[in-house]
Structure 1
Amino acid sequence: MRNFINEVGQIIGIEQNTTSQLEKLLSGLGGFFGIALCYLISNIYLTGPATLFIVASAGASAVLIFAVPNGALSQPWPVIGGHLISASIGVYCQQHLGNPHFAAAAAVGLAIFAMYHLRCLHPPGGATALFAVAGGNHVIDLGYSYVVFPVLLNIIALVSCGILFNALFQWRRYPSHLFRRHQTPSTTGAKPSFRHISPDIAQEDFAAALHQMNSFIDITPDDLSDLFELASRSARRRARTPLKIEAGLYYSNAERGSDWAVRKVLAIEGRRIQFRTAAGSDDSTDKAHYCSRRAFRQWARCKVIMSSGLWVPCGSSNEGS
């Protein structure tokens, strides 16, 4: 049943959150301060319910800036450019396209198209474009002033708050390129490199791979390089740790793609091991299987646990968070 629930969760896209409780708290606090500032600015230029809708648009940006500060969609240009371009397109559609339903749809569609080409794709920009058409008389009366007051002021305040708040914590890079991840020195004193694991892979190869996928992915080549480096460190730690097979624990074959599998050792009976598949490609995840201890040891590469919906090696720094 647990495996079925996990499979359903992956199909419907339940996020596999690996962040610590501190990171979750900081994200919430950052969003609080950012939106409080935006709300004050909105109240200066709009009255009534319209202020709430402006803040709602900025609220979506706050989630990205403070919860995903390293993400490509969260960086200053996507936030500022995405909102301003979308707001301008929204106002244009409202003023020049007669049918409000068509104008609203055109505003969002054109905003997405423009953001893509101007390299500032930012999902909340769609809401900003839509609100320029459907925001009511308070917003319509502003005309192109809507782009500056309150959209520009709101976004400048939000981005500024994001830069100042995230700079207080060295692992929260914002802007991503300016504040690079703090690298912990290796025990040998030499800076580790992912080239030690795969010497043929360069950072440019990650960029090429992103191009070949032909779909926008909210990650940068720098982030991929960092992930590869951290994964390489984990692999080196795992290689130095002797593997002991014990009943009740989970083991992975450390393969990739369709060959990957996780097994739980149910019992050790002399030279035989009883196990079942907990995840991955092995025949059935419900029934028990038997193999020799030698065969299981040859198959198993690391001991793993479930942490935040992901299988991670035992001893990982974030396990159980």
Structure 2
Amino acid sequence: MVITALERAQLRPGGRLGWVRNALGALIGIALAGLVTQAVTRATGHAAAPWLVAPLGASAVLVFAVPASPLAQPWSVFGGNMLSAAIGLLCGHLLSAPWLAAAIAVSVAIAAMTLGRCLHPPGGACALLCALGAQTSHWGWDFLLLPLALNVGLLVLAGSLWNNLTGHPWPHRPHPAPAMPQGTWAGTYIAADLDAVLADWDEVLDVDRNDLDALFREVEQRVLQRWQSRR
């Protein structure tokens, strides 16, 4: 099996992409969310309420392991989870059949997150969890505030602090495209070419479009430098 340069970077313990950095970030984020939410539920007389929701684990993977992903940005994490949870609760209260409530909740959540520009995969889990919880555990609208909003808000806070402290600006800022050398073929494509290809592919790529542009231009520069060194 061939291991790419990106995979080698992720397998290293240290560095901006190292697995130790990612794992420690998730540890801090989940621990902070769990401890604070548990304390608040007890202090407010909601000791029986859950103090951690399972989709938070999936959100933590995105926030700390792939913080450059458009699906892992703060608005995607907070907006996607909260919007989907509200849809799940609504479906759970309005529809009597659990399977139907869950299915419609996830379906509508995907549409709502897409339109709200906060697509976040764990949001689908939030929609399903809340649709079933509204029926089997009789969760009310207060579930959105405690524990969900507190859980997600604390994870976003931890993600912002940890990613920025470890050298990965979050929210993600696209890598600046390098200045291309004049009088060569490098950098001769224009942004409209990239947009046209993405439109032709008709796929949702989990990469910021500006990152793609910078990536292609840096690859072109490396190819140009290699060719020039052989002359």
Into which bin does the TM-score normalised by the smaller protein fall? 0.7 to 0.9
Contact 2:49–2:147 (Cα < 8 Å) also in 1: no
- Against the structure 1 CA distance between its residues 175 and 122, is the aligned structure 2 distance closer, same or farther, given a 3 Å change threshold? same
- 1:162 maps to what in 2? 159
Q: What is the deviation of 1:175?
A: 0.7
- Against the structure 1 CA distance between its residues 79 and 115, is the aligned structure 2 distance closer, same or farther, given a 3 Å change threshold? same
Contact 1:203–1:222 (Cα < 8 Å) also in 2: no
The aligned runs of 1:1-321 (5 Å cut-off) are 17-20=7-10, 21=12, 22=14, 23=17, 24-43=19-38, 44-45=40-41, 50-52=50-52, 54=53, 56-135=54-133, 140-141=138-139, 143-170=140-167, 172-177=168-173, 180-181=174-175, 192-193=179-180, 197-242=185-230
Q: What is the deviation of 1:74?
A: 0.6
Q: What is the deviation of 1:136?
A: 7.2
- Against the structure 1 CA distance between its residues 25 and 226, is the aligned structure 2 distance closer, same or farther, given a 3 Å change threshold? farther
Q: What is the deviation of 1:200?
A: 3.5
Q: What is the deviation of 1:153?
A: 1.4
- Against the structure 1 CA distance between its residues 57 and 115, is the aligned structure 2 distance closer, same or farther, given a 3 Å change threshold? same
Q: What is the deviation of 1:49?
A: 9.0
Contact 1:35–1:62 (Cα < 8 Å) also in 2: yes
Contact 2:186–2:217 (Cα < 8 Å) also in 1: no
Distance 2:113 2:153 in 1: 18
TM-score normalised over the length of structure 1: 0.60
- Against the structure 1 CA distance between its residues 234 and 210, is the aligned structure 2 distance closer, same or farther, given a 3 Å change threshold? same
Q: What is the deviation of 1:151?
A: 1.4
Distance 1:33 1:60 in 2: 14
Q: Encode CA deviations 1:189-235: one digit per residue, 9 max, x unaligned.
A: xx643885444423354344333322211111111022113312331
What SS does the corresponding residue of 1:135 show, helix, strand or coil? helix
Contact 1:194–1:229 (Cα < 8 Å) also in 2: no
More helix by share: 2
Contact 1:50–1:139 (Cα < 8 Å) also in 2: no
Contact 2:180–2:186 (Cα < 8 Å) also in 1: no
* Letter matched to residue 131 of structure 1: L
Q: Which structure has the bigger radius of gyration? A: 1
TM-score normalised over the length of structure 2: 0.81
Over aligned residues, Cα RMSD in angstroms? 3.0
Q: What is the deviation of 1:18?
A: 4.6
* Letter matched to residue 25 of structure 1: V
Percent identity of the aligned residues? 34
Contact 1:111–1:125 (Cα < 8 Å) also in 2: yes
Contact 1:90–1:131 (Cα < 8 Å) also in 2: yes
Q: Encode CA deviations 1:263-309: one digit per residue, 9 max, x unaligned.
A: xxxxxxxxxxxxxxxxxxxxxxxxxxxxxxxxxxxxxxxxxxxxxxx
- 1:308 maps to what in 2? none
What SS does the corresponding residue of 1:38 show, helix, strand or coil? helix
* Letter matched to residue 59 of structure 1: G
Question: For structure 2, which runs of at least 5 residues remain unmatched after alignment?
Answer: none
Question: For structure 1, which runs of at least 5 residues remain unmatched after alignment?
Answer: 10-15, 184-190, 244-321
- Against the structure 1 CA distance between its residues 81 and 204, is the aligned structure 2 distance closer, same or farther, given a 3 Å change threshold? farther
